[in-house]
Structure 1
């Protein structure tokens, strides 16, 4: 019986000590925002890839070096390409038009010989025809002169055509060989990896002697003077994001500090894997020193109000009901919300004491 009395007293004391948390509405500012995380990139940051297969023979820059558009970064060697370039050079020299001018001179001599023969046989033919018209000579002599004339004429015209064909063939071979040499020279340029932007070399992932291919990233290059914030925004929030909106950024590198940026670009397509949209922002108030690829957290500010009635969000039931200290449940109209507070537009006064729902 003694233990039952003590247990009853303990339950009574515990029940009296279990008091519900109460609160009063406050007046102050509230900001509605969208949370996003992201990665910091430099302007024009990209991974440099070669366009050919080969072996790295030279590293022409070091990490941290400044580069400009066209600056050589890495030299690649490929024996097959070198042999192809030498072969193209030999072919270009062999087929050069001026080097084959002797063949044209020879063809011209053939034309001149055929022309002289044609003139002679033409004169003999017309003379014999004149005699034959006067019934002088035999028909066989006339036909022989006519055949010689026609043959000489055909040979002369053929010699002219062969000259033209030879010239056209030589010109084609010369042009084709020079074009192949140009292609080979252009391909040789591909064996020097060059920068596509002004900036610095942030990293080099390969060493001399390593085999590389067009699928192999060689270096990361970017503009160290201009950084871009790449935010991943959920598909449920993207319709509320607009260019020019203010962004509050926090970085692990700068504890207890916040920096400001503005939305500068919104992607038109969703990443199917992450169900997010890429949103870019640029600093308006940036940290003194930044590095690419560091992560950050951000809030895109959508709206802000001053001197409004606020209550803690955890005092709301179903986002529209507040329980008063008297036990009354009152329906309220909610305005802006952040992670901790909610604006009350109507249904509650600053003097109404609330009870935190269980």
Structure 2
């Protein structure tokens, strides 16, 4: 019988290996959970945050500076296009308008009837004198043909006639110039008055749409300037969603995609909308794009500037093979129960799951990487 002998060091190594082997299986049983891929519906979505806004909502400004003189509308009141909302006080523009009105009144044709009549009388007088001098010249010419009178007298009559004719024509020209000047001054004064009305109108804030005044941002007596928003106006009863989408997700967003919406004002309720507009420029500060959506399933009551969170549905897969996302290793591999690493082709991903297109099936046991 052959005797087998072990040295003390060999026995020690053998014992250590046994303990390591036992420890591996004990940890394996207690620390690693085996899962299997399963088939289920998977929805890929893009997260967005944003606000509820009234349709055509805008902040209203004026080009005026000064204190608020009058407020004609209360918050929540309906307004029509052109309806006055508030007025900013300006003594300078008020006086300028009054001055333009006086100039316009003084420049009208009716206000200058005296000057016109004076020239008309001058024309009539010059015409009569011309006719009289013409007759005298003609008589003197006939007398001279009969050798009555001197040549000097004939020349004097002719000169008087020429002077009368010149005076008459000069009066006609002055009359035409006067009427042209009056017409020009009247039109110029009317334009100046219209400009004054426009400048004075800038001190009155009016609505640009038929809608509702949701907010008056200033009170009577407060100073305002052209950079100060004075009111928030929007359409009545029509609302949309203004969403902010990260630049990394914008390529997935398309028109008419379904949007699932949650709001703090309506807890544990989900509403539906669809993408209606994608603004084509990125906000360089927030690194996000603005998306508009309209409700298809809306809350019973809405107000502008309600905050919301949304998920824009970009893809829906029915009965596809999925695994929990944290079971992916390095983005494109999984680890089997035996410790083997298998490459896989990954489809869409959500926060919880990843779609597996190729590499494993429903019978592949998987363990969590890193355990």
TM-score (normalised: structure 1): 0.89
Paired residues for 1:227-266 under 5 Å:
227-266=239-278
Q: Which residue of 2 aligns with 1:124?
A: 136
Q: Which residue of 1 aligns with 2:4?
A: none
Residue 132 of structure 1, CA deviation: 5.1
SS at match of 1:343: strand
Tell me how far apart the structure 2 counterparts of residues 120 and 140 of structure 1 sit (CA, whole Å).
Answer: 19
Tell me how far apart the structure 1 counterparts of residues 147 and 66 of structure 2 sit (CA, whole Å).
Answer: 86
1:35 matches 2:47: yes
Q: Deviations over 1:16-62 (max 9, x none)?
A: 44723432111100011122222221111111212322321222222
Residue 129 of structure 1, CA deviation: 4.2
1:59 matches 2:89: no
1:339 matches 2:338: no
Tell me how far apart the structure 1 counterparts of residues 217 and 106 of structure 2 sit (CA, whole Å).
Answer: 43
Residue 92 of structure 1, CA deviation: 2.4
| 1:179 equivalent among 191, 201, 206 | 191
| 2:364 equivalent among 335, 346, 352 | 352
Residue 325 of structure 1, CA deviation: 0.9
Q: Deviations over 1:272-300 (max 9, x none)?
A: 32232211001111122222222222111
Tell me how far apart the structure 2 counterparts of residues 128 and 271 of structure 1 sit (CA, whole Å).
Answer: 97
The CA RMSD over aligned residues, in Å, is 2.6
Q: Point out the more displaced range, 60-69 or 163-172.
A: 60-69
| 1:79 equivalent among 91, 97, 120 | 91
Q: Which residue of 2 aligns with 1:111?
A: 123
Summarize the Cα distance change of 1:164–1:24 in structure 2 as closer, same or farther, 3 Å threshold. same
Tell me how far apart the structure 2 counterparts of residues 106 and 314 of structure 1 sit (CA, whole Å).
Answer: 103
Q: Point out the more displaced range, 336-345 or 181-190.
A: 181-190
1:213 matches 2:220: no
Unpaired stretches in structure 2, ≥5 consecutive residues: 1-18
Q: Which residue of 2 aligns with 1:291?
A: 303
Summarize the Cα distance change of 1:350–1:54 in structure 2 as closer, same or farther, 3 Å threshold. same
Q: Which residue of 1 aligns with 2:290?
A: 278
Paired residues for 1:283-322 under 5 Å:
283-322=295-334
Tell me how far apart the structure 2 counterparts of residues 54 and 151 of structure 1 sit (CA, whole Å).
Answer: 64
Residue 97 of structure 1, CA deviation: 1.3
Matched residue pairs, number? 351
Tell me how far apart the structure 2 counterparts of residues 196 and 155 of structure 1 sit (CA, whole Å).
Answer: 60
Unpaired stretches in structure 1, ≥5 consecutive residues: 1-8
Tell me how far apart the structure 2 counterparts of residues 243 and 220 of structure 1 sit (CA, whole Å).
Answer: 28
TM-score (normalised: structure 2): 0.86
Q: Deviations over 1:91-120 (max 9, x none)?
A: 222222112212111101111111111122
Tell me how far apart the structure 2 counterparts of residues 284 and 42 of structure 1 sit (CA, whole Å).
Answer: 15
SS at match of 1:217: coil
Q: Which residue of 2 aligns with 1:155?
A: 167
Tell me how far apart the structure 1 counterparts of residues 221 and 96 of structure 2 sit (CA, whole Å).
Answer: 22
Q: Point out the more displaced range, 301-310 or 211-220.
A: 211-220
Residue 133 of structure 1, CA deviation: 5.9
Residue 128 of structure 1, CA deviation: 3.8
Q: Which residue of 1 aligns with 2:58?
A: 46
Tell me how far apart the structure 1 counterparts of residues 144 and 39 of structure 2 sit (CA, whole Å).
Answer: 132
User: Looking at CA atoms only, which structure, 1 or 2, has the larger radius of gyration?
Assistant: 2
SS at match of 1:23: coil
| 2:38 equivalent among 8, 26, 37 | 26
Residue 222 of structure 1, CA deviation: 2.2
Residue 85 of structure 1, CA deviation: 2.1
SS at match of 1:44: coil
